[in-house]
């Protein structure tokens, strides 16, 4: 993917094609304006980084969903999502939110989409917590298998299991425990 001529369509097509190199194109094009927005509205550059990356993740996940339709420019979308997230963050930090200074037009992220974004965050938080509670070596084993998608053979080699079947049994036990922990998180959140 070449720079300069990166139309929104090309970027979206590339992302759907699993070409992640466009991520750095998005970064170069749009981080500056989000950074400016966050800093003007009493955030730091670190805040800007976190918010912008969250917005990219939201955008990325939406694009991967074939049903999603982008109704505005990517720039506007990223700005709108960042804006929404930053507002949420400062509202959490203090009861009083001063006037927000805007630099560009933004679209309203509708409630169902905002809810979806939040739900994804919650699920992520629950899984992170469950994996944290799971401890080693289970955590790495699960991550290697489900995320890095290593084969059972590679895993048994890495963990020093005598054979792949042994590794499979170990993985099964780990997964059962993770499941318990994960659904426990769910209950906890419902309380």
Partner 1 sequence: MKTGKDWEEMEQYLDGKLSASEANLFEIKLQTDQQLLQLMLEHKKMKESIAAYGERIILKQKLEKIHLETVAQTPQNKQNKVKVFWIQHYKTMAVAASVSLLVAISTLMYINYQKVQIRQSANFKALRKDMDRIKRSQKALINNFNTSKKEEIAPANYSGTGFALTNDGYFITSLHVIKDADSVFIQNQFAQTFKAITVFRNEESDIAILKVVSPNFEAYKALPYSFTDKSGNIGEHVFTLGFPREDMVYGEGALSAASGFEGDTVSYQISIPLNPGNSGGPLVDDKGNIIGLISGKQTETEGAAFAVKSQSIISIIQELAKDSLDEGFKLNKKNNLAGLSRVNQIKMLKDYIVTIKVYNQE
Q: Which residues bind partner 1 (CB under 8 A)?
A: 20, 23-24, 27-28, 31, 35-36, 39-40, 42, 45, 49, 53, 56-57, 60-61, 120, 123-124, 126-128, 131, 142-143, 146-148, 168-169, 172, 175, 178-179, 182-183
Output 60 or 108, the one with its CB closest to partner 1.
Answer: 60
Task: Please say which residue, 108 or 125, places its beta carbon nearer to partner 1.
Answer: 125
Give the integer Cα–Cα distance in Å for 162 and 32: 52
Nearest to 178 by CA among 152, 140, 121: 140
The DSSP symbol for 106 reads: -
How far apart are CB 20 and partner 1 at their closest, in Å?
6
CA distances from 6 to 14, 31, 62, 125, 130 (A): 10, 15, 19, 34, 40
CB nearer partner 1, residue 20 or residue 108: 20
Residue 120 Cβ vs partner 1, minimum distance, rounded to whole Å? 7
**Closer of 128 and 189 to partner 1 (Cβ):** 128
Length of the chain: 191
CB of 33 to partner 1, least distance (A): 13
The structure tokens 């955590």 sit at 139
Nearest to 113 by CA among 55, 73, 74: 55
Least distance (Å) from partner 1 to the CB of residue 89?
16
What is the number of alpha carbons within 13 Å of residue 12 lying toward its C-beta? 17
To partner 1, the closest distance from the beta carbon of 42 in angstroms equals 7
Comparison of 72 and 176: residue with beta carbon closer to partner 1 = 176
Closer of 36 and 158 to partner 1 (Cβ): 36
For 125, other C-beta atoms within 10 Å of its C-beta total 12
Q: In angstroms, what is the minimal distance from the CB of 130 to partner 1?
A: 9
Q: How far apart are CA 120 and CA 118, in angstroms?
A: 5
């Amino acid at each position: 993917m070449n720079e300069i001529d990166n139309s929104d369509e090309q970027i979206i097509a590339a992302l759907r094609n699993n070409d992640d190199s466009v991520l750095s194109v998005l970064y170069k094009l749009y981080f500056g304006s989000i950074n400016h927005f966050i800093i003007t509205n009493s955030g730091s550059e670190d805040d800007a980084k976190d918010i912008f990356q969250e917005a990219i993740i939201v955008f990325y996940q939406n694009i991967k969903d074939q049903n999603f339709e982008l109704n505005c420019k990517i720039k506007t979308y990223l700005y709108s999502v960042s804006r929404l997230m930053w507002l949420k963050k400062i509202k959490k930090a203090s009861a009083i939110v001063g006037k927000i200074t805007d630099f560009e037009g933004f679209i309203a992220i509708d409630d169902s989409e905002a809810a979806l974004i939040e739900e994804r965050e919650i699920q992520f938080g629950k899984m992170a917590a469950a994996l944290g509670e799971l401890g080693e070596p289970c955590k790495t084993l699960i991550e290697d298998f489900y995320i890095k998608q290593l084969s059972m053979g590679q895993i048994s080699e890495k963990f020093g299991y005598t054979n792949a079947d042994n590794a499979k049994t170990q993985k099964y036990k780990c997964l059962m425990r993770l499941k318990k922990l994960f659904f426990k998180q769910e209950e906890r959140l419902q309380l």
